[in-house]
Amino acid sequence: MTIAPGPEQTQTDLVTVVVDDISVRVPKGTLVIRVAEQMGVEIPRFCDHPLLDAVAACRMCLIEIDGNPKPQPACAITVTDGMKVKTQRTSPVAEKAQEGVMEFLLLNHPLDCPICDKGGECPLQNQAMTAGRGESRFEGKKRTFPKPINISAQILLDRERCVSCARCTRFADQIAGDPMLELLERGAQQQVGVADDAPFDSYFSGNTIQICPVGALTSSLYRFRSRPFDLVSTPTTCEHCASGCSLRTDVRRGEITRRLAWDDPEVNEEWNCDKGRFAFKYTHDGRVKTPLIREDGELRPASWPEALDAAARGLAAAGDRVGVLTGGRLTREDAYSYAKFARIVLGTDDIDFRSRPASDEEAQFLAAAVAGRLLGPTYADLDAADNVVMVGLEPEDESPIIMLRLRRAARKAGTRVWGVSPVNTRGLAKVDGTWVPCRAGDEAALLRSALQSGDSPADGSAEAAAVQITRALSTPGAVLLIGERLASVPGALSAAWALAERTGARVGWVPRRAGERGALDAGALAGLLPGGRPLTDPTARAEVARVWGVEPDQLPRYAGRAGSGAIVESASALVLAGIEPDDDPDRSAILAALGSETFVVSIETHHSAVTELADVILPVAVDAERAGSYTDWEGRVRPFGAAITGVSTVTDSRVLAMLADTMDRSIGRGDIGELRSELAALGNWTGSRAAAPDAIPETRVSDGLRLASWRLLLDLGRLQDGEPHLAATARATEALMSPATAAAYGLTDGALVTVTAVGTGSRPRGSVCVALRLDDVAHDTVWLPMNSPGCSVLVDLQSVPGESVLISLEASA
Amino acid sequence: MPELPPSVRGFGVTFKTIFKRVVTEQYPEQADRFPPKPRFHGRHQLNRWADGLEKCIGCELCAWACPADAILVEGANNEDGDRHSPGERYGRVYQINYLRCIFCGLCIEACPTRALTMTNEFELADDNRVDLIFTKEDLLAPLLPGMVAPPHDMVADFDEKDYYAGKVIGATPEQQRSAIDDRVAKEGS
């Protein structure tokens, strides 16, 4: 990153350099190629990338420097005072040198442009035109390789096209921390490659395609799909997680052909993860196309007025006993519409966006600490912090850009990362983090003892870890990152918040889904009005009522139920938006409600387990078809435009506005401009907030083997539907245990094991059968992927992390 | 010689013309007598290699070159067992909109494989718009004797470079046999 010089720096650290006979003053240590860039002189280059360490591998940027006998690479030379630089514009020597390098690069480069995916947007094509010769003088035979080869299921490598710039290998090594790509061999045989038994299964592999300056790396997904001039590009925001990546979506004839990481230095820099890049096929497949009404148990297509009428009658019949579950994937504007619709049309406060393990303690924590707060802590704060402590968060799987930013902070700014986790993960190793082993469910106890710890160091025990965490959090700028998983650990969020208050650390709550923070701020949670306003506060009610154009009395008087289980059980009608019952620990309650007399309106994009049983289904637009915004985990609003235009789908907000009109209560038109101006008019709550929760951790006796789990980045999520190449790069479904624990249970590495839930009460004992891998795992813990092929913790085991499980060797093995 | 009145003098032109050669071409009755010049820019054609594989690689350079935006191409991957052209890529979708085409021939110049050329056919009138968008089936050159309809494999032991070097002179017995096998398999199923 280019760091802008501070005020005192401008006084002392500037040097004078002469570039092409123009004298400029620039900060000391700037690369010559950047100085030229800022002056508007473009020096051709391939290997240079501002976010990668300089390597001077391609030699394309040769320039003349006074006093140097030979041309020098501009991408690797920093300016010194009085340096005189001549680029190709003024120096015949530099021009000839660049022409020579280009000729060398083209010697073995095949004439593949017509069949190459990079054709039309290729730096080598472009610079061959500006800095190359018109005719080749080469008469020999070009070096050839078999092409293309798969270095992962998604990434194809064509070694003939490679110019050995080492951008991909440097990205894999420096940025992603997956050093599986390497330059092999020497001389003309030099090539990028992977080990035979280790494909390039990085979560960030797609970035190498984007930074490859030739067409050597391409994707299976975009292979031969289109040319740059066919594409209509729209700046968008990634809908997959709360990292908030800025993307560019390219559409050809109404169909998304690819998505690229877009440059946002404050958030994702120029990177994104493979899920954000490749998982977009869901946009087109399995969509609900028309409104549907259930009649005599069968769904039939209906017109919009008919379906709206049916939905309105069903909801009106339920009175105020209607529950609203919005799921965590709605845009900020849509979540706001649901919040408004529930309060003034349905007259209910039974609304929740958390379609996942959640708790009342979490709702209280969110109201006190997160909802309607200003931006921060931010990605930049992670750079600036001396210490970052993560609890209940696996950065690589659950928020990949946090992992990338922490990795950079650790490498460049010396940030020390601490991971309180049941598993010492690959993601934690990449950020050079210190693992604080903690069994799932024990986070609360650990944080509580950190809170109570003095400064006396004790060693070798949980006590020592608690002291370490307290010390780390007490350093200037320290950040405590809390994953949404802590919701299922009683007392953990209370202890974390209290610990942050005591140490002065800033708290970042990192939900997994893109819409959760926005839904929270928009008031899609019982007891909370938009902007973090408490429903029971008269001033807050008055503020909201004024913007909504209603009397404060018309808002629900008492805070409603939170949590999908509580809402579903008490409701006689439900409005469900974008939820999958299988994501919820209360899935059986939701499925029972769907199958029972409860009237269910499903506002959905895709056919799902909900639409199979709902009474009225109203189809809505996916993100690509509409404008909107998300709020990332920092609290930063990330707007996006409609990538696919000219389709007749409508947004959730429009559907709710129409439904409200049908029920003779107006909530406005539901268009994006109106919603945004309402949200801006409401702003954030400035009055007093609800008290932070003060739940006490459960005291747990030694309870045998405990389950730890989270969702892998690439799993069975519905938004990854229809993309087999991406799914093939997912991590294997396997159970993790520490060698000591495994030995105690008589299990060995690679054994096929059965993990069985300890059923409680009415819940049955489910089990899964997976291969076991021994790793750094907390004692008496078995880790399973939450929702991967062959292993769904919530469905198969009907358990949540922290509960006890049994393990045995698979009988048939 | 006394001057004739202008009204009579005017008929002189008529009389002279009666005895001159007729230049009017009788179209369509005598269209065969007056073929277009060999380099006339007529309807396009997508050519084939001697064994029947398509020359088009779906690179879209023709579409890029087209000043009238009349051409639509979508490339695709030649899979094993579903090969339409030598090499990695073929044109899965190929359309020329003759309501837009201005017959300038820039597409022909852009084509890197000589897949796209122009025929002399100029009879391109119709009474509806849809039929004037020619698709790949309309544009592909007819199968000549010795050619086998794709998809089929390349000539054994040859790669695309051998095709470009002009080494392929017709479908090999192997290619013809496999085409028959494919047809039998398709009809049998």
In a mutational test of the A interface, the residue from B57, B59, B61 whose CB has the highest number of chain A CBs within 10 Å is: B59
B76 to chain A: nearest residue by CA? A224
| Cα Rg of chain B (Å, integer) | 25
Q: Please give the pLDDT value at position A762.
A: 63
- Cis ω before A400 (30° cut-off from 0): no
CA nearest A668: which of A307, A313, A341?
A: A341
Residues above pLDDT 70, as percent of chain B = 98
The DSSP bridge partners found for residue A325 are A352, A576
Among A681, A340, A334, A382, CA closest to A514:
A334
Q: Would you place residue A222 in the very low, low, confident or very high pLDDT band (cuts 50, 70, 90)? A: very high
For A373, what's the count of Cα atoms within 13 Å in the CB-facing half-sphere?
A: 21
Which H helix or E strand runs over A756? strand A752-757
- Please check whether residue A534 is in contact with residue A567, taking contact to mean a CB–CB distance below 8 angstroms: no
Q: Which of A196, A278, A205, A276 is nearest to A241 (CA)?
A: A276
CB–CB contact A227 B113 (8 Å): no
CA B122 to chain A, closest CA, distance in angstroms equals 29
Nearest CA in chain A to B75: A224
Residue of A nearest to B87 (CA): A115
**Which tens digits make up the pLDDT trace of A400-415?**
999 999 999 999 999 9
Reported as a pLDDT band with limits 50, 70 and 90, residue A699 is confident
Name the average pLDDT for chain B: 92
Count Cβ–Cβ pairs < 8 Å, chain A vs chain B.
34
Residue-wise pLDDT tens digits, A623-652: 999 999 999 999 999 999 999 998 989 999
Best CA proximity match to A384, nearest among A416, A351, A358: A416
* A115 vs B57, B63, B74: nearest CB: B57
Structure tokens belonging to residue A477: 């700028």
Cβ of A225 and B89 within 8 Å? no
* A342-379 b/e (C-beta count within 10 Å ≥ 16 → b): bbbbbbbbbbbbbbbbbbbbbbbbbbbbbbbbeeebbb
Which residues are within 8 A (CB) of A472 and not within 5 positions of it... i.e. 6 or more apart?
A386, A387, A389, A416, A418, A478
**B59 and A115 in contact by Cβ < 8 A?**
yes
Per-residue pLDDT reduced to its tens digit, B133-144:
999 999 999 999
Contacts of A227 in chain B (CB under 8 A): 60, 63-64
As a whole number, mean pLDDT of residues A670-685 equals 95
ipTM of the complex: 0.87
**HSE-CB for A621 with a 13 A CA cutoff:** 23
Q: Where are the beta strands (DSSP E) in A371-437?
A: 387-391, 416-421, 434-437
pLDDT cut 70: percent of chain A above it: 96
**Can you tell me whether residue A113 is helix, strand or coil?**
helix
Tokens of A19: 């570039």
Task: State the pLDDT at residue B187.
Answer: 78
What residues of chain B lie within 8 A of the CB of A226, using their CB?
60, 74-75
The answer for residues whose C-beta is within 8 angstroms of residue A313's C-beta and 6 or more apart is none
* Nearest chain A residue (CA) to B59: A114
Question: Token pair for residue A465?
Answer: 């870890």
For A161, list phi and psi in degrees, rounded to 5: -80, -15
- CA A403/CA A28 separation, integer angstroms: 31
Tokens 């460049």 belong to residue? A412
**Would you place residue A147 in the very low, low, confident or very high pLDDT band (cuts 50, 70, 90)?**
confident
User: Cα–Cα distance between A652 and A671 in angstroms, integer?
Assistant: 10
Q: Which amino acid, A442?
A: D
Q: Is the pLDDT of residue B149 over 80?
A: yes
**Chain B environment of A114 (Cβ under 8 Å):** 57, 59, 61, 112-113
Please tell me the pTM assigned to this model.
0.92
Contacts of B76 in chain A (CB under 8 A): 224
**Partner-chain residue, chosen from B64, B74, B87, that has the shortest CB–CB distance to A115:** B87
Cβ–Cβ gap B74/A114 under 8 Å: no
Task: Say if strands A434-437 and A416-421 run parallel, antiparallel, or are unpaired.
Answer: parallel
Confidence of residue B181 (pLDDT cuts 50, 70, 90): confident
Q: Would you list which residues of chain B are within 8 Å, Cβ to Cβ, of chain A?
A: 57-61, 63-64, 74-77, 87-89, 112-113
| A714 strand-pairing partners | none
End-to-end Cα distance, chain A:
53
| Closest C-alpha to A282, from A33, A547, A559, A607 | A607
Contact A68, A46 (CB under 8 A): no
Backbone torsions φ then ψ of A252, nearest 5 degrees: -120, 120
Q: Could you give the CA distance from residue A83 to residue A76 in angstroms, rounded to a whole number?
A: 14
Q: pLDDT value at position A464?
A: 86
Shortest CB distance from A114 goes to which of B61, B74, B77?
Answer: B61
Nearest to A707 by CA among A765, A763, A755, A762: A755
In the structure, what pLDDT confidence band is assigned to residue A5 with cuts at 50, 70 and 90?
very low
Summary mean pLDDT of chain A:
92
Q: Which residues of A touch B89 (CB under 8 A)?
A: 115, 224
3-state SS class at A407:
helix
